[in-house]
């Protein structure tokens, strides 16, 4: 009985230690002045490299290590020469490495250095893109959430 009470007390202490005893450190930006209201999107790969899009109208894709080292702007949306869409909206880790990043009418695949290529898909991206988050499945299919139409869509990149 004494051992059972000891195990219960230990379990209770373990549960208590999991709530509220951690720490929080701001890693980017150094002040809150640069944060954009709206939908923020963050994705971190297994090695601790993160990709961040700030707000619904973010002009920058931020990347760096999850401890804050090396965090900075990987690319400005304006450098991609999109005709109508110049804001990053959502980011997801890609199983082949890097991240898939959604703009209003396009999805790009970025590596850690900020190099990218435009994802060509079927159906057309302009027919499939919603305003919400994205995810990339193990087969590289891209899943799109549109909170306004309450739909979930899949697009398949063409080889």
Report the C-alpha gap between 92 and 45 in whole angstroms: 9
Give residue 20's region: left, alpha or beta (phi > 0; psi -120 to 50).
left
Min mean pLDDT across 36-40, 47-51, 90-94, 121-125 is at 36-40
Highest mean pLDDT of the ranges 13-17, 76-80, 92-96: 92-96
Residue 83 lies in a domain: yes
Residue 151 lies in a domain: yes
Residue 61 lies in a domain: yes
Query: Quick one: pLDDT at residue 90?
Result: 87
More confident residue, 94 or 28: 94
Average pLDDT on 111-129 reads 76
Residue 104 lies in a domain: yes
Residue 19 lies in a domain: no
**Domain containing 84 — which CATH number?**
2.120.10.30
Domain that holds residue 147: 36-157
Overall number of domains in the chain? 1
pLDDT exceeds 50 at position 3? no
């Amino acid at each position: 009985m004494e051992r059972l009470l000891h195990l219960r007390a230990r379990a209770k202490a373990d549960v208590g230690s999991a709530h509220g005893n951690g720490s929080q450190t701001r890693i980017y930006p150094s002040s809150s002045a640069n944060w954009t209201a709206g939908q923020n999107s963050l994705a971190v790969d297994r090695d601790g490299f993160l990709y961040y899009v700030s707000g619904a109208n973010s002009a920058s894709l931020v990347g760096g290590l999850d401890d804050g080292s090396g965090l900075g702007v990987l690319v400005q949306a304006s450098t991609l020469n999109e005709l109508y869409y110049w804001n990053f909206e959502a980011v997801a880790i890609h199983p082949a490495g890097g991240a898939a990043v959604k703009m209003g009418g396009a999805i790009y695949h970025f590596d850690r250095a900020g190099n990218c290529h435009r994802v060509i898909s079927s159906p057309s991206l302009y027919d499939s893109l919603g305003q919400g988050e994205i995810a990339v499945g193990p087969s590289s299919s891209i899943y799109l959430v549109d909170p306004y139409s309450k739909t979930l869509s899949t697009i398949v990149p063409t080889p």
